[in-house]
Amino acid sequence: MPKATLISVVPFLINEHKPLFPGVFFIPGVKNVGDINVLVVDGDPIHYVYVNEHMGSLKMVAPVEDVCAAVVSDYIRSCICVDDEARPGFGWCDGEISVEMLKKEPLYTKIVLPLMQQQNRWFKNLVAMADDDWSKYHQHRAISDVQRHAAKSLGLDREWIINVPKPENFKTCPACNQTVSIGAVICSFCRCILNPEAAKKMSFAIPA
């Protein structure tokens, strides 16, 4: 059975959905610098393509390496301030690889270290954008929690780093730590289900 491993040093939840079975790719954010999280994808996910009323739908196989590449690419493209050298520390490799294996040489130098380096460059881009926005607007609401986290991770001291009190009609998503409406059923940032009972009544929600 073919396998591939998604590898993350990102401090935020990764929760990607694809029109496949299985199609949910959930990786918690790392808690500390240097931590690594992985998700092993087993087998080649499948999807169905409708042909016509006589033939119905045909089962198609999506190669596991193509799926992992798409998951990584789509997540990175959804983030701001990324470029070829600066991006979230999220990648993949062929085969099944454990966290313990990744912490040892030569895999750490070959895979993990480059992810951490490109993520640090991404954090610098986020901070640079925050600095520009702060100089223009001087308002805390112009700075995102992701940018504050980036500054803290780089050990930088910024006036805009302070935690801003949340309005009463907003709450913090327990998965990605972003601010969402108090009545939100699904987090608009990471798609975490915040209200399972309400989500079951909605056709777009994916059952747990």
Residue 31 placed within a domain:
yes
Residue 194 placed within a domain:
no
Residue 174 placed within a domain:
no
pLDDT band for position 171 (50/70/90)? confident
Q: What is the pTM of this model?
A: 0.77
Nearest to 126, CA basis, from 145, 141, 108, 112: 145
Q: How far apart are CA 163 and CA 145, in angstroms?
A: 8
Residue 181 placed within a domain:
no
Residue 105 placed within a domain:
yes
Q: What is the pLDDT of residues 99-126, one digit of tens each?
A: 999 999 999 999 999 999 999 999 999 9
Residue 63 placed within a domain:
yes
The H or E element that residue 94 is part of is strand 90-94
Q: What's the average model confidence in pLDDT over 159-164? A: 78
pLDDT band for position 29 (50/70/90)? very high
Contact in structure between 14 and 75 (CB atoms under 8 Å): yes
Q: 193 or 176: whose pLDDT is higher?
A: 193
pLDDT band for position 203 (50/70/90)? low
Q: Tell whether the model's pLDDT for residue 47 goes beyond 70.
A: yes
Residue 183 placed within a domain:
no
Q: Residue 155's CB: how many other CB atoms inside 10 A?
A: 6
Structurally, the chain folds into a number of domains equal to 1
pLDDT at res. 167: 60
pLDDT at res. 113: 97
Strand, coil or helix: 1 = coil
Query: Could you tell me the residue range of the domain that residue 116 belongs to?
Result: 3-138
Q: What's the average model confidence in pLDDT over 63-80? A: 96
Q: 109 or 164: whose pLDDT is higher?
A: 109
Residue 40 placed within a domain:
yes
Q: What tokens does 78 get?
A: 């959804």
pLDDT band for position 166 (50/70/90)? low
Task: Give the total residue count for the chain.
Answer: 208
Q: Residue 85's CB: how many other CB atoms inside 10 A?
A: 10
pLDDT band for position 138 (50/70/90)? very high
Look at the block and give the residue holding tokens 């087998």. Answer: 43
